[in-house]
Amino acid sequence: MDEIITNIEARVATWTFFPIENGEPIQILRYEHAQKYEPHFDFFRDKHNIQFGGNRVATVVMYLSHVRKGGETIFPITNSSLSQTKDDSWSECAKMGYAVKPIKGDALLFFNIRPNATADTSSLHGSCPVIDGEKWSATKWIRARNFDIPHKKLRQIPESKMLQLGVDESYTLKVSKPKRKSILGEAIIEANTVYGALRGLEWHLDGKLRKVLVIDTFNLGKRKLNYCCLLMMHQTFSQLCSFDYTTKTVQIHKAPWSIKDKPRFSYRGLMIDTSRHYLPIDVIKQIIESMSYAKFILFFLHNFRCEREFINAQWNKLKYIIYQILAKIIFASNFPSADNAGINVMAEVDVPGHGESWGVGYPEIWPSPSCREPLDVSKTFTFDIISGILSDMRKIFPFELFHLGGDEVNTTCWRETPHVKEWLHNNNMTAKDAYQYFVLKAQDIAISKNWTPVNWEETFNTFPAKLHPQTIVHNWLGGGVCAKAVAKGFRCIFSNQAFWYLDHLDVPWDMVYTAEPLDGIDTDSEKELVIGGEVCMWGETADASDVQQTIWPRAAAAAGKHVLLMRKSITLTILPRFKHFRCLLNRRGVPAAPVTNFYARRAPDEPGSCYDQ
């Protein structure tokens, strides 16, 4: 390539923060007297034109000649035209909008696509007629990715590498020193799967990094991904950066860096209780997105319940409504699904003890109108309903685990309802036996739909020898349960309510962090059976007005324990990082409460920096 062109390409890359390979070839244009270009958009709306390099994100126009009059570049619909005054040196065409005069040596940069990937219609532009002189210009269009690589050549991720429990999330991050006389550096992420890279990739708009090199060994070899067009940064990398308001640049703290990272546990969950207060879809989307900042991997949608207004006596109508509501909750998002954020979604149907609302549409699954839960164990129809619901939910939730609840089952209703009492007698069962029968039958239904059942710990505490061997025990009542469960060969999830129930507002961040899922477990083989933990946001006292302040930042303390085991003083090592992370959440629009409040989600006590609250 000619040295002059090479230098121009390099300067355009520096100016736009897009790598050279994202640019189309420079186009030279000549306008003679009266020639013009009608207003148009540079972005595309069809698939054909974006197969190479994606859409045109930015446009650079370089003026190669001076035009005595006319030939201005005009933006007819931008609001900026209101603040631009023009004298007689401008053409009449230029007075119809915001305009830029063609002056030799000047260049114009404008963006066609907003940071949220939507088209910016204010980028509508044209060239006014040349009145006196001749106009020469050079145009450089910048694509969203490498212009030489057709999008259709990117192969699908193998099923073995899809986001499932235990997928390899390890990565290596290397950050080089910025080159001399340049603020541009380079980061390299090496990962065996795309989710290893996603543990560090997030939607983040700050930064001046020129490119990110992702090495994904599963199918694409080495492939350069443009950082700016993807608007992503590594979670770890982003915490090494700070914005310098003097130089208006992002500074990389103490570069160079070389970091190897992988999580301690494959299951790192946050539970949201949507059954007690309504949470708007946008709030749920915000929570899912913010989870990725703390490297959570599992969003647990607790106990989907059909409320009275959603039920009617037609089973097909019930199925349709359930499907639509859940589909909206999970998939109505700016990204195609939570999977794109590296987040799995696990749902729950909590039976038999918390299923009263199902009987609004089908009263026959209640033991009696005055005694509504646990659900009627004596009727085949009860299990037909459960099977139908799970069949429809399987279409929505591809994750391999499904929560069946099984907690807080008071069997008094079964013992006192005549027809259930008769069924117990005929089958030689006690109420405790019937509880076991119901849970195991629900497990069989879930397993038949290719799900691994998860149950709250009461099922293990009551009949451990009878549970299906695939069962994952979900601890919540207190300590020591995971140690007992793994000793019997079961996998376990830690959610001890004394530490990891976020609705307990008097539990400070340090108690959340110091809770250890592996307490009381000595052998490596048993430690492997603790797949991780989950913080639980119960909804009795939280709704859209305060749920995020209740979740954050304390949930991040648990997330940190999922990723890193820190044996040093947490006040000296963890607390400063925790305060920094809370400020980082605030900057990204997440309403995280102050770190050291005695009660979670309480407002700051006095003025001060977010680092000191």
Active site residues: 408
| The pair of three-digit structure tokens given for residue 437, joined into one six-digit string | 């029968």
Q: Is 154 helix (H, G, I), strand (E, B) or coil?
A: coil
Asked if 351 contacts 375 with a C-beta cutoff of 8 angstroms, the reply is yes
Look at residues 577, 591, 612, 613 and name the one whose alpha carbon lies nearest to residue 236.
577
For residue 384, is it left (φ>0), alpha (ψ between -120 and 50) or beta?
alpha
The two beta strands, 452-456 and 401-403, are: parallel
Q: CA-to-CA distance for 372 and 353, rounded, in angstroms?
A: 9
Q: How far is CA 580 from CA 201, 261, 267, 589, in A?
A: 19, 20, 25, 15
Full DSSP string of 365-397 = GSSBTTB--S--TT-HHHHHHHHHHHHHHHTT-
Look at residues 60, 72, 59 and name the one whose alpha carbon lies nearest to residue 31.
72
Buried b (16+ CB within 10 A) or exposed e, 468-483: eeebbbbbbeeeebbb
Q: In what order do the strands lie in the sheet with 452-456?
A: 344-347, 298-302, 267-273, 530-537, 491-494, 472-474, 452-456, 401-403
Residues contacting residue 37 through CB under 8 Å, at least 6 positions apart: 31, 126, 127
One-letter amino acid at 393 equals M
List, as own/partner pairs, every contact residues 46-49 make where C-beta atoms lie below 8 angstroms and the sequence separation is at least 24, other chains included. Answer: none
Q: CA-to-CA distance for 600 and 553, rounded, in angstroms?
A: 9
Q: CA-to-CA distance for 225 and 211, rounded, in angstroms?
A: 7
Q: CA-to-CA distance for 305 and 606, rounded, in angstroms?
A: 41
By the 10 Å C-beta count (0-12 exposed, 13-18 middle, 19+ buried), 323 is classed as middle
Asked if 192 contacts 170 with a C-beta cutoff of 8 angstroms, the reply is yes
Whether the bond into 453 is cis, omega within 30 of 0: no
| The pair of three-digit structure tokens given for residue 582, joined into one six-digit string | 């809370």
**Dihedrals phi, psi of 361, to nearest 5 degrees:** -85, -30
Q: CA-to-CA distance for 403 and 176, rounded, in angstroms?
A: 45
The two beta strands, 171-175 and 186-191, are: antiparallel
Asked if 409 contacts 435 with a C-beta cutoff of 8 angstroms, the reply is yes
